[in-house]
Structure formats: structure tokens, C-alpha cells
Amino acid sequence: MDDQIKISVKSANFFYGSQQALHEVNISIRRCFVTALIGPSGCGKSTFLRALNRMNDLIPGTRLEGRVELDGQDVYSSSMDVIQLRRRVGMIFQRSNPFPMSIYENVAYGPRVNGLMKNRAELDVTVEKTLRSAALWDEVKDRLARSAMSLSGGQQQRLCIARALAVEPEVLLMDEPASALDPISTAKVEELIYELKRTYTIVIVTHNMQQAARVSDETGFFLNGRLVEFAETKKLFTAPAKRETEDYITGRFG
Amino acid sequence: MRRIVDRTFVAMTLAATLIILAMIAIIVGNVVIHGRDRLSWEFLTAAPEQGMMAGGIFPAIYGTVLLVLLMSIVAVPFGVLVAIYFAEYARAESRLYRWTRMAVNNLAGVPSIVFGLFGLGFFIQTIGHGIDQVLYPGYLVYGQPSVLWAAMTMAVLTLPVVIITVEETMRAVPQEYREASLALGATRLQTILRVILPQAWSGVMTGAILAISRGAGEVAPVLFTGAAYFLPQLPTRANEQFMHLGYHIYAMSTQSPDVEATKPILYSTVFVLLVLTFLLNLTAILIRNRMRRWTTR
């Protein structure tokens, strides 16, 4: 087992019923790297992302063949505790989805359901720490008891990031986290990703190629359910090895 | 020509609406006019006397409220559990789901008198007698009509309403909340209890409201299962019979020795039943609105 590799996917095939959405995907995601996944709509990048923390299990009739390993451990084996897996592999969704509760309760939710904290004081510390990590503390510290719904879209998304960080995950999966945000909020989220990569392994799905180029270390290009190319971000954007990749990043399709 | 047809149609819809309004006004007006003279504090707090031709209706009010409360205690939690199964756990293609779904839908269409007979046969004859044979051999304790069995019967009758309303509100909670919760390492049960149900409280209350309205008004299910023609005392135990407003109205209007003398009392009783149903509804609506304020975004 290579210590540099956090997640390793080996010949993964994914099916929605009889329809195949991923074909023979092989990828190694490195620890404390930001890995970006790009590709046109419907290319399978979100399906792939959701396969990593088994969120696809929620959709009846889906099935994965092949292997997904987290620290060398088979994610799809029967001995894998899905609840524990999802605590270790956090997820940020395209549409920010804070619970209709207070800001505090949103962040405290994960630690509470996982029984991570012994008392209120400890929980208070975690809430403050994660809100600081998500660069939101200064904006909300005086209104923690207010509803999370009173925040702006960008703040809501950062709250979701704080909420995900509160359960001390090892990996963060981000499914187009900034696609619904204005440029200023997007910049803040990107800055945040840059900060977070020191501690977390991050996999980000994005439509925005500039974003992938800005935030990621390595980039994978998906097309029609296949991983066409996977390389260092700089290399993929300046000297792509495959013709399809070049066509896509130069805007010839997609 | 088209404009005439159009206007005629608008006039027809308006007329139909007005007719409905008029009918409600006539019913309520009739009840109020004929019933108000007899209404008094004493009428509400005293027991019937002289073969129901005098006195009040307190035992019937008490019995109806007791019945509805007991029924809600059974029907609401039970209905919520079934709704959780339907909305969160059951897979649409599973056989168990399809059969239970069909059972619930059919239950909603069964005539209420059938529930009354079911209550008599199942709760009283089978369960009640069974309990008596085991715990009180030779005595009649639970194997007889009582407020407990009437409430259970009424609960079976109102269950489909509770299930369907709660299930619908649970399904209306966006999938993204379930995903957010599960992605944080919450179990399905934690997700349901902490995220889904708090957002579905208004549905639970709506289900309770509908069940209460129905339970307070139905007579047939309690006819054989617990309602008494006349009781001098209030029931103090679950295995005692009770008086019921709806049944009381039925009894007075069909079995009174002097119809003319009973009439004012009859009207007043109907009036009280209407007000009581309205008040029970209002209480539930107020609770629901309060909960909504807590949980909405």
C-alpha cells in the first residue's frame, strides 16, 4: 500500500439498473491533494464522486463492480461500516443544504449524531473551531442561534463545509460546490479549499475549468463514463495527452 | 355566443358555491336558533334526567373528549410509525409495501359500521375475552364494551387518514436533507428523528386534526363497542362504558318517549357537538401553527 495514496479505485464499473454510467475507471487520489474532476454534463463525474462514500447506495437498483479502497480498505466490502465510512469521507453538495435549524445546531449535528463530544463546552469549542476553518466565524459569531436559512447563499455553503468538517473527516468530496454562487463567494470557497488541503484530501467535481486549474493539484477528465485522462493539473491544461481532453478544454465541445 | 357560454359557466360555478354556503348557513342557523334557548351552564355541566327530557349532557361531552383523546394516543403514534415505514424504508417494488399500501387505501373506504362490528368481534370478543380468561377467569372485565375498545376501534378507523397525511409531508421533505444527514455519518433512524420528523410535524398535527374531526363525529364505530344509552356516573376506568354526544343525539331522536319535549335538548346537543369538534380542531391547528413557526426556514 502506497502511503501517498488515500483513495484508490480499480476498474470500477457502475450501473443504474441496466444502464452503465462508469466504465473501467482507474484512479489514485493522493493524500492532501486537491483532485479535480472535469467533463461535460452526464459524463459520470458526479456518479463517480458519490461512489466514493457510497451515497449511490441510496438510489435503488444501482450497483458497482470493481474496487474502491480508502487507505487500502475495501469500501464496498460487507465488513465496511457505511456510517463510519461517511463520517470519514465528508461531502459538500452542489446546492447548499443547511438544515432548517440554527447555525450552531447545523455544525453541532454531525458531532452529536456520531457521539463525538462529551459535553456542551467541548461542542462549543468544536463549533467555533470548524466555523473558523470554514472562514465563517467572524460573520456569524454573534448570531449562532439564528436560523441557518437567514444566511446568504455563499455563507450557507461555507456553513455546509463547516458542518462537514465538524465530524473530523479525512476526505472531503465536493460536488460543484461553487456552481450556484456569485464570483465573490466562489473566490472565498476556493480560498478555503486551498487552506483545507493542508489537512484534508479533497476531491472536487466542477464544471468550471478555470476553477479546476486554480484549485487543484491533479485533474481527471471524464467523458461518457470513462476517465479519459488523469494528470497533474498544469500538464493536463497545457499539454493534454489525449485529443478529447484537448477538444474539451479548448472549448470545442461540452 | 362564446361570451354568453363563458358568462353562464361563471354564473353556474358561482351559484354552486353560493348554494353550498347557503346550506351550511341554514344548518348552523337552524341549530343555533333552536338550540340556544336550552343552552346554559347547567346544561353543559349536569347529567341527563327524566329519560333525557331534562338536565344536561355533561357525561356525553366528557365521554366524547375522552374517546377522542384515547383514540389520538393510539392512532397518531401508530400512524406515524407506518408513515415512516412507507416514506423512508419501504421500497416501491417490494411486495410487503404493495400489500400494506393496498390495505391502507382500502381501510379508508370501509363503511364505519363495519369498523363497529370489527371492534366488537376483534377487540371485545377476542382480545378482551382473552385477557379475561387469562387474568380474571370467571369475571367480565375487559370482555365487554368500554371506552378503551371504542377508542381502539375509532383509532383503526382514523389510521388511514393519519398515515396518508404524515407520509405525504415526509415525502415532501427534500431529499437533499436526507443526503446531507447521511453524508455526515448519521444513521437512517437519526436522520428520520432529527431531520425529517421535525420538518413533518405540521403533517403529524394535520393528521391528528383530521382524525379528531372524524373521531368526534362518527357514531357507528362506538355503537357496539362502548357507547352507553345512559350512565349516571362518569367512567373512571378504561374498561367502563361512556356516553357519546353523537350517540346521545341518535338515542334522543329515535328513542325518546316524548319527541316534542326532547327537541330543544336535541338541538342544543347538536350545537355543542359542532362547537366541540370545532374547538378540538382549533386547538390542533393552533399547535400546528406554533410548531410551524419553530421549524420553517
ipTM of the complex, rounded to two decimals: 0.91
Question: Average of pLDDT values for B147-174?
Answer: 93
Residue B296 pLDDT exceeds 60: no
Q: Nearest CA to A109 among A85, A130, A95, A93?
A: A130
Q: Is A87–B184 a contact, with Cβ atoms under 8 angstroms apart?
A: yes
Residue A32 pLDDT exceeds 60: yes
Q: Model confidence over B195-234: pLDDT tens digits?
A: 999 888 888 888 888 888 888 889 999 999 988 888 878 8
CA distance B297 to B287: 18
Which of A119-123, A203-207, B53-57 has the least mean pLDDT?
B53-57
- Residue among A50, A113, A146, A160 with most chain B CBs within 10 A, to mutate: A113
Residue A1 pLDDT exceeds 70: no
Q: Which residues of chain A lie closer than 8 angstroms to B198, CB-CB?
A: 100
- The three three-digit cell numbers of residue B113, written as one number: 359500521
**Dihedral (Cα; A138, A139, A144, A145), 10-degree rounding:** 150
Per-residue confidence (pLDDT) for residue A2, from 0 to 100: 66
Question: Average of pLDDT values for A7-30?
Answer: 94
Report which residue type is found at B103. A
Q: Which residues of chain B lie closer than 8 angstroms to A95, CB-CB?
A: 176
Q: Is A99–B195 a contact, with Cβ atoms under 8 angstroms apart?
A: yes
CA distances to B35, B44, B189, B222, B223 from B236, in Å: 30, 19, 38, 18, 20
CA distance A228 to A209: 16
CA distance A13 to A7: 16
Is the minimum CB–CB distance between B193 and chain A shorter than 8 Å? no
Residue A216 pLDDT exceeds 90: yes
Q: Model confidence over A121-135: pLDDT tens digits?
A: 999 999 999 999 998
Q: Model confidence over A148-193: pLDDT tens digits?
A: 999 999 999 999 999 999 999 999 999 999 888 889 889 988 999 9
What long-range pairs does A226-230 form, CB within 8 A, spacing at least 24? A226/A22, A226/A23, A226/A24, A226/A25, A226/A44, A227/A25, A227/A26, A227/A27, A227/A48, A230/A27
Per-residue confidence (pLDDT) for residue B255, from 0 to 100: 81
Give the pLDDT band (50/70/90) at residue B7: very high
Residue A226 pLDDT exceeds 90: yes
CA distance B227 to B248: 9
Q: Where are the beta strands (DSSP E) in chain A?
A: 5-16, 19-30, 34-38, 62-70, 73-74, 89-92, 171-175, 201-205, 218-223, 226-232
Q: Which residues of chain B lie closer than 8 angstroms to A109, CB-CB?
A: 181, 184, 186, 194
Give the pLDDT band (50/70/90) at residue B297: very low
Sheet with A62-70: list strands edge to edge.
A19-30, A5-16, A62-70, A73-74
